[in-house]
Amino acid sequence: MSTSTPATTTVTLTINGQAVTVAKGTLLIEAAKQAGVDVPHFCYHPKLKPDANCRMCLVEIEKMPKLQTSCNMPVAEGMVARTDSPKVAEARAGVLEFILANHPLDCPICDKGGECHLQDEAHAYTPNYSAFREPKRFFEKEYFGPLIDKEMTRCVQCLRCVRYCDEIVDSRALGSRDRGSFLQIGGLVNKELDCEFCGGCIQICPVGALTNRVAQYDFRPWQLKKIETICPHCGDGCRLKVESRDNVVVRVTSDAGRGRNNGDLCAKGYFGFDAVNRDDRVKKPLVRRNGQLVETSWFEATALVAGRFAAIKAQHGGAAIGGVISADASNEDLYLFQKFMRLVLGSPHVDSTARYGHHNTVAALREVTGHGRMTASYEDLDRAQAFLVIGADLTETNPIVSYRVKHAVRFQGAKLVTVGRYGPNPGAFVSNLVNRATHPLTAAPGQERAVVLGLIKSLIEGRRVDGRLIQESPRYVERLSGLASRVSWDQLTAQSGVARPAIEAAATVYADAERAVALFGRDVVRSRGAADTIRLIADLALLAGKLTAPGCGLGPLADEANAQGAVELGAAPEYLPGLVPAGDGEAGRRVASAWKDELPSGPGWSLMEMLEEARAGRLKALYLVGDDPLRSLPASAKVGEALARLELLVCQDAFLGPSAEAAHICLPAATMAEREGSWTNHEGRVQRGKQALDPVGEAQADVAMFSDIARTMGYPLDYADAKDIAAEIARVAPAVAPKGASVHPGAVQPAVVSQYLSNGYEQDVERRFAPESSPRAASAYPFHLTLIQSLFRSGALTARSTALAKVPHQAKLLIHPDDAAALGVGSGGTVRMRSAQGAAEVVVRVSTKARPGRVLFPEHYLDTVRDLIPIEVDPATKVPTFRETAVALERVAAAAVPSRNGAG
Amino acid sequence: MPTYEKILLKNMETPGYTGDLAAYERAGGYQAVRKVLAESTPEQVVDVVKRSGLRGRGGAGFPTGTKWGFIPKDPSVPKYLCVNADESEPGTFKDRQLIERDPHQMIEGTLIAAYAIGAKVAYIYLRGEFALGARVLERALNEARAKGYIGKNVFGSGRDIEVWLHRGAGAYICGEETALLESIEGKRGLPRAKPPFPAINGLYQQPTVINNVETLANLPHILTRGPEWYAAIGTAKSPGMRIFSVSGHVKRPGNYEVPLGIPLRELIDEHAGGVRDGHRIKAIIPGGASAAFFTPEHLDVTLDFESIAQAGSMLGSGGVTVMDETTCMVWAAYNLMGFFHHESCGKCTPCREGSVWLYRILGRIEHGEGRPEDLDQLVRLCGNIAGKTVCAFGDAEVAPILSTLKHFRHEYEAHIQQKRCPMHPNVLAMAAH
Amino acid sequence: MNMAQPVSHALSDSAKARITDLFPRYPDKRSVTLAALRVAQEEQGYVGEQAMADIAVLLELTPVQVYETATFYTLFALEPVGTYVIQVCRTLSCALVGADPLIRHLEQKLGIGVGGTTADGMFTLKNVECLAGCGAGPMMQINDEYYEYLTREKIDRILDDLRREGKSSLASGPFLIPLETA
């Protein structure tokens, strides 16, 4: 629902004799830019609040006795400014003389050389000599840790890094120390930097004071090939610039003003690229001979895969073959894969890793909004007056969305209601959204739905239901009111642990805000009964009038880069491209006729069903593209058993993961940097990425491999390039095709909402209004463990990043100070954690983010912890849940004395 | 010696005056605010102060009533009054005395000002080193709070005015009004870029007035005796009494309350007892370390805002430092540059980088390592600092250098030629910071 | 600068209570930063890293935010200092009336240079900029107390008093005239 607010008034001023008309409130420096006049500056940055400290942007303004900084001066009607007068030139030269006086001029060995503001401005505005004859200032060298280098002698004290770390990221890990000519930037003395490692301070530094240690001394900027693509690490959909030299990624950056992220990145985007360069990539096709995977040629590998698929298809039918693809893949990969599975292999069994969660969202929302996209755009987040964030640890899962939410809360005064299992942890450098909540509703694990029910109940009882909805859909409102009244407050508060007044206050905040957005994430999406909870959140938005109103909406947050595309393009047994139900005969025929072929008959199996069928011997072959179920699923999923029974396991991946180690054939795949394509972020924005590198070794893009195998099997699936595939997607699935940059692709489909309000809501309505109690913790296992997402590792690629592995404080069991004290452990101590499934030893970190009796551990670090968790599959959406369980803890090593404050 | 009716120092110079609430009330204290709350609207108070011509005593001399007038009237917007009790300008020690000896006079002024601008909360920003002042003020505030003079429903007026003491922690720059606001907000005391101005966007981003201690201490008297009475004291443009802090080579250093407009000579010779015996005046700083040096030629300049400015310096904080012929002017400038170098907050490039550069050059000259080109260099660098920074600190730090260079250039040249300080041949290096 | 950090201690519950008691005075907890640092210094003699981390949690800041504020103000010692911190004013008005020789006298008397601490941990000697005692110079501040109209003899007596009794009657009272009820 993005609507840009038109400038209500404009102001006309004169800059260097030229009349300029700009929006009221524009800063003079920006007005000058619009007039084509560049004003030199160091401390100013359009993302940050002006600080006017560098004094480089001084200009002359008529009727003002002194020169004025243009970076903090709002334009005024009739203002007459000069940036080209002798007075201004003298002032600029003076400021630069002061900056250069103590600057080391070590440009030849400075990584910033060639893209340095100071070089550019000095070149343009200073005389070619210096009158400075004093000893240069010296700062003791301090190290910022393994990822970021600080060279204070080069610093111009503009504080852009400090301000960025505060205003944009809210990490507040950088500060300025001491004062006057001793002023320097830094974290705590003698401490390595402990922060979100977003790299933003490096990117925003105008000089070489902060540089990327991962790329240190590896390049001169002009030697780098710079290609833009889309980040593969979460659903935020950030535009990155892959900068390479000799086909090796040297660094990743992102330009301000570019992409949905406006140049902001997180640790994974900025530092996590190095996995691409690893030596242990799969570089050639591998086939199993005498129990060993050995290298072979593409010709032989393709022939072998095609031959084995054909043989199994001939003997058992196409339905004996299944395929699963990673939801990080591009739209083109996803589309072609499902087409390959359905037409070439003749199998309905195609799925993706979106099965781990996003399918719950789509199942719940497809009949409410028409899709599973965010119905609010990022711009709506910026302008929101209230947020409901339900079951989402935003900083860790969707950092760029979290920047926008925190910014709106801190600087626009937006109210923030958080519903979830995390407590605030003030003093921590990795900013926790709950720290910023105006209404933190900290609930028992798995009780997000009870709180949502409470919010609905509050709306109804407080007579805050949208008036138009009451008028237009009285039956819906009546029905839901009736159901809500059957749930007692006693039950809701007892189950959730959240007090009624707190819920009521939060409901008021949500209902009263003109522009309110409800976001929800993995603690809802990847939990038991997720679809019911999500549907209930949609009911809440509808009742509050916040689903379709301008500036409002729902925001399902995706963990994977292309969960949207995976489902929308039909890499799912239940959907054909365009989110068309596979069982819908009429729609299916339209797709089939576009493909000029028959669709395979019978219901398709989901990922978990495929594994079960493999164990039962009915699924004979499995084609895994970028997915590694042995790595992703806990022991209780018995993946090994399933894979072992297959006649054929083909793995197509960039790395040899555990599943690939068990494969009959491995095909080397290109990574995000080595292929072109488009990705659909959780807003529904389809964004193109270009190929930055040639694939390593003999690796190939997924689409090329599908085409090769298909051709060998006698069913050509040939396309000229990614655009050619995109054109077919637009034809086959017009419903999900991009509608242009100005249209928010997640806009609610009005016909679907009306349908829902007239009778669609009845489906499972009683069930979702019946709060489910959490299983009572058995006394043998008194703690509740949740597997959480980490900002620094979210999957196979990031797990292989050497740079990210250097970030401190990872892979720790977060435990509340009271529990830590009771166990007698402090941060750095070790505990043994037992569940009904087994035991694991873990190092603890004391933090109030974990609530008493509940511990948190990040996924993708220790298989032993993952294996403590039993798996459960949702009978309707087939989504596997393996995120929480009851555990017992016992101390192994105490380490430091527990601090009750537990910053961390 | 001419004598004048004391206003601000009257109570404390009365023998036996303890400065506690009872003593202040016995001397007629808290009558003005009581009357104002009962009988005047805030607009009327602003008007009275405007008519009195009272100008800020902190340094800039801005008309107090006009400053108040910039505050938006919207009652739904919270407003703040901040009392600038961060007295740190070298050579100035009057506020310390007003606080330690007669705290209630200042508190009464604070209440009047808060009422006039519609502030429900006032913070007294007290210099961190003033531990005694803090004890005195804390006790005075508690006395007033216990009596219902501050807090809820002050003097039964239905108005709430809270007054809290907020202690600084050692930073000259926090006397700058926006740095003071940052410091109250718990941050580093860096002056803010203006616009926006504090009257619109001040403490916690709300409209804020910052008034000096001496300014506020005048208010009960103006409200009691009327603006016309006040305006008749001093000069037409600089009305009222002023406390001058006199220090240095005089016989009786101390605080002297005199009408604005008396000659500098009268202050030094009559009130402060004149220069010490056997010596003659060489230089005078008339308004704190940020003010340009005067020479004996300036002794007939009158002490009002306009005359001093016209003569090339400023009335500033009222800190008058007198130097006799034994004082080396390069040493004096170097001493003050040491102060400014130590106190520069480091925010703006010209001041951060310029202060250390100037300090090094002056140090070299004083220690006999000056170079002939240094003097033009000093002037040029000062020109690149003055007027180029967020706050007035940049102008302040160059004043001692430029004025000593102007009046005593030959002393600088002698240092450079003789490669030593001619006056203090054995001068010890001022210890580095 | 890369010297080992002294062991730093957590703030006591009473110190924390003194800090949180000030919250009602301000609309934003961060405003209590300076007061909180002062409480920490009063309790521990200096402001250590753990104390700053504790303050950060109370004030809902990060430790760096507390730290950067602490480094801006001269009154906070970030490393342990002597029981008595002697700060002698060196600025012009005091310098004109003989501050320099008195600083030399103190250095000799204590056997340390400016910036140093006596071996017994009793005294730390520092220079300080103008303390608004210009009319009564030379002057110095020792912990909370001002000492004015200094002479060598007076300094000797003050140091003796502090060594012997932990306080000195030579401290300045309310300026100019002693306040009877003080």
Contact C141 B339 (CB under 8 A): no
Q: In this structure, are residues B387 and A66 in contact, taking their beta carbons and an 8 Å threshold?
A: yes
pLDDT value of residue C4: 39
pLDDT value of residue A900: 47
Q: Which residues of A touch B343 (CB under 8 A)?
A: 180
Q: Residue B59: which pLDDT band, with cuts at 50, 70 and 90? A: confident
Amino acid sitting at position A177: R
Mean pLDDT of A558-579: 96
Q: In this structure, are residues A1 and A17 in contact, taking their beta carbons and an 8 Å threshold?
A: no
- pLDDT(A691) > 90: yes
Contact A137 B356 (CB under 8 A): yes
- pLDDT(A341) > 60: yes
Mean pLDDT of A564-585: 94
Contact C175 B254 (CB under 8 A): no
First CA to last CA distance, chain A:
37
Mean pLDDT, rounded, of chain A: 94
Over residues A389-415, the pLDDT tens digits come to 999 999 999 999 999 999 999 999 999
Q: Chain A residue with minimal CA distance to B189?
A: A179
SS3 B6: coil
Write out residues 109-138 of C within 8 Å (CB-CB) of B.
Answer: 114-115, 127, 129-137
pLDDT value of residue A239: 97
- pLDDT(A144) > 90: no
Contacts of A756 (CB under 8 A, 6+ apart): A367, A368
Does the beta carbon of B165 lie under 8 angstroms from any beta carbon of chain C? no
SS3 A596: coil
Quick one: which of A845, A431, A426 has its CA closest to C66? A426
- pLDDT(B270) > 90: yes
Predicted complex ipTM: 0.95
Q: Which residues of C touch A427 (CB under 8 A)?
A: 53, 56-57, 60-63
Which residues, in sequence order, are bridge partners of residue A35?
Answer: none
Strand extents, DSSP E, A490-592: 516-520, 553-556, 575-576, 580-581
Question: How far, in Å, CA of A411 to CA of A707, rounded?
Answer: 51
Q: How close A216 gets to chain C, by Cα (Å)?
A: 24
Q: Residue C5: which pLDDT band, with cuts at 50, 70 and 90? A: very low
pLDDT value of residue A3: 45
- pLDDT(A494) > 60: yes
Q: Which residues of C touch A188 (CB under 8 A)?
A: 49, 63-64, 67
Q: A751-755 — which CB contacts under 8 Å span 24+ positions?
A: A751/A370, A752/A366, A752/A367, A752/A368, A752/A369, A752/A370, A753/A368, A753/A369, A753/A370, A753/A542, A753/A547, A753/A548, A755/A367
Q: How close A29 gets to chain B, by Cα (Å)?
A: 14
- pLDDT(B433) > 60: no
Q: In this structure, are residues A553 and A560 in contact, taking their beta carbons and an 8 Å threshold?
A: no
Does the beta carbon of B366 lie under 8 angstroms from any beta carbon of chain C? no
Does the beta carbon of A46 lie under 8 angstroms from any beta carbon of chain C? no
Contact C97 B249 (CB under 8 A): yes
Question: How far, in Å, CA of B22 to CA of B16, rounded?
Answer: 13
Over residues A420-444, the pLDDT tens digits come to 999 999 999 998 999 999 999 999 9
Least CB-CB distance to B193: which of A72, A91, A156? A72
Write out residues 161-180 of A within 8 Å (CB-CB) of C.
Answer: 171-179
Give the single-character DSSP code of A651: E
A692-714 residues labelled b (16+ CB within 10 A) or e (exposed): bbebbeebbbbbbbbbbbbebbe
Q: Which residues of A touch B341 (CB under 8 A)?
A: 180-181
Q: Which two tokens stand for residue B273?
A: 């007892």
Q: In this structure, are residues A479 and A469 in contact, taking their beta carbons and an 8 Å threshold?
A: no
Over residues A449-473, the pLDDT tens digits come to 999 999 999 999 999 999 999 999 9
pLDDT value of residue C176: 63
Most distant CA pair in chain C, distance: 50
Query: How many residues in chain B?
Result: 433
Mean pLDDT of A765-792: 89
Does the beta carbon of C96 lie under 8 angstroms from any beta carbon of chain B? yes
Q: Which residues of A touch B345 (CB under 8 A)?
A: 179-180, 183
Three-state SS string over chain C comes to CCCCCCCCCCCCHHHHHHHHCCHHHCCCHHHHHHHHHHHHHHHHCCCCHHHHHHHHHHHCCCHHHHHHHHHHCCCCCCCCCCCEEEEEECCHHHHHCCHHHHHHHHHHHHCCCCCCECCCCCEEEEEECCCCCHHHCCCEEECCEEECCCCHHHHHHHHHHHHHHCCCCCCCCCCCCCCCCC
Q: In this structure, are residues A851 and A496 in contact, taking their beta carbons and an 8 Å threshold?
A: no
Q: Which residues of A touch C2 (CB under 8 A)?
A: 140, 190
Q: Which residues of C touch B78 (CB under 8 A)?
A: 27
pLDDT value of residue A8: 66
Write out residues 253-292 of B within 8 Å (CB-CB) of C.
Answer: 253-255, 285, 289
pLDDT value of residue A773: 78
First CA to last CA distance, chain C:
43
Q: What is the pTM of this model?
A: 0.96
Least CB-CB distance to C129: which of B87, B247, B342? B342
Question: How far, in Å, CA of A259 to CA of A241, rounded?
Answer: 10
Contact B361 A94 (CB under 8 A): no
Q: Which residues of C touch A177 (CB under 8 A)?
A: 67-68, 71
Question: How far, in Å, CA of A99 to CA of A54, rounded?
Answer: 9
Lowest mean pLDDT segment, chosen from A183-192, A537-546, A868-877, C129-138? A183-192
Contact A51 B193 (CB under 8 A): yes
Q: How close C95 gets to chain B, by Cα (Å)?
A: 8
Write out residues 4-23 of B within 8 Å (CB-CB) of C.
Answer: 12, 16, 18-20
Q: Residue A904: which pLDDT band, with cuts at 50, 70 and 90? A: very low
Least CB-CB distance to B346: which of A69, A131, A179? A179
Chains with 3 or more CB pairs under 8 A to chain C: A, B
Contact B352 A183 (CB under 8 A): yes
Q: How close B399 gets to chain A, by Cα (Å)?
A: 17
Q: Which residues of B touch A179 (CB under 8 A)?
A: 171, 188, 344-346
Interface test with A, best of B357, B375, B380, B393 (most A CBs within 10 A): B357
Q: Residue A595 CB: number of other CB atoms within 10 A? A: 16
Q: How close A72 gets to chain B, by Cα (Å)?
A: 7
Does the beta carbon of B205 lie under 8 angstroms from any beta carbon of chain A? no
Half-sphere exposure of A869 (CA within 13 A, CB side): 25
Does the beta carbon of B398 lie under 8 angstroms from any beta carbon of chain A? no
- pLDDT(A243) > 80: yes
Amino acid sitting at position C68: E
Does the beta carbon of B138 lie under 8 angstroms from any beta carbon of chain C? no
Does the beta carbon of B332 lie under 8 angstroms from any beta carbon of chain C? yes
Q: Residue C9: which pLDDT band, with cuts at 50, 70 and 90? A: confident
Over residues A158-193, the pLDDT tens digits come to 999 999 999 999 999 999 999 999 999 988 877 888
